[in-house]
Amino acid sequence: MSLCVDYILRGSVRWQKVAEGAGRVRVTPRLIRVTDDTHVWSKSYDQDLDDIFQAQSDIARQVIQQLGTSL
């Protein structure tokens, strides 16, 4: 099955629970060019779990910048 895409976004998410307060989360997205399996961009984001939506916004902004497009 062909998806007819030029890039895919893969990643991993790890989190740490703490006894009190918010936990921590590490999100590591990787932008990959499908034609040659080249890693175009990758970065780790370490955030308090309460700030996960900020990490999501930062990741989206970076992917858009790497693709050279705008929304």
Instruction: Quick: pLDDT tens for 3-24.
Output: 899 999 999 999 888 777 778 9
Q: How far is CA 4 from CA 7, 22, 31, in A?
A: 9, 40, 16
* Number of domains within the chain: 1
Name the band, by pLDDT with cuts 50, 70 and 90, for residue 71: low
Name the band, by pLDDT with cuts 50, 70 and 90, for residue 32: very high
**How many whole angstroms separate alpha carbon 48 and alpha carbon 22?**
6
Q: Is residue 31 part of a domain?
A: yes
- Is residue 27 pLDDT above 90, yes or no? yes
> To 5 degrees, how large is the angle CA 43–CA 46–CA 49?
135
| Coil/strand/helix, residue 70 | coil
Q: Is residue 1 part of a domain?
A: no
Q: For the segment 36-50, what is each residue's pLDDT rounded down to a tens digit?
A: 999 999 999 999 888
Neighbours of 45 (CB within 10 A): 19
Q: Is residue 26 part of a domain?
A: yes
Q: Is residue 2 part of a domain?
A: no
Q: Is residue 14 part of a domain?
A: yes
Find the domain containing 56 and state its range.
7-67
